[in-house]
Amino acid sequence: MAKLPEEKRDATWLPDLVSGFAAACRDPGLLRDVASLLTDDLAPQAAESAGLLRALADFDAADKPETALARMDPDLATLIRRLRDIPDPPPTRPKRKSGRRGKRYN
């Protein structure tokens, strides 16, 4: 099969297609199957797109989705939150240091 010259190719076709599919599909098995079809000879972004679909499949299959998101790369978790319309978690308060101070010797 003949390929288009580099200058005539749309560099964003695969990420655009995958993000639309990821937003619409809720079937973890189908997400994993499509991810397995994305190979590097298809497009340079295929590995990243496959990783997104696998992470989304893990999220959709999880009994506790928040736990699955917490174990993911933060950028990937944020993208999945946007795709699934899930609110961001409340910000955590910084931990306070213990009230103990070192002994002072005079």
pLDDT of residue 23: 94
- Amino acid 98: pLDDT: 64
Whole-structure pTM over 0.75, yes or no?
yes
The tokens describing 31, both together, are 């997400």
Whether 2 shows a pLDDT value over 90: the answer reads no
Please tell me what DSSP assigns to residue 2: -
pLDDT score of 11: 78
Q: Tell me what the mean pLDDT of segment 78-100 comes to.
A: 83
Summarize pLDDT for 3-56 with one digit per residue, the tens: 767 777 777 889 999 999 999 999 999 999 999 999 988 888 999 999 999 999
b/e per residue, 31-44, with b = 16+ CB within 10 A?
Answer: bbebbeebeeeebe
Q: Distance between CA 21 and CA 25 in Å, rounded? A: 6
Indicate whether 1 pLDDT > 60: no
Query: Binning pLDDT at 50, 70 and 90, where does residue 99 land?
Result: low
Domain boundaries, the chain: 13-83
Both structure tokens of 89: 């978690």
The residue among 29, 19, 30 whose CA lies nearest residue 80 is 19
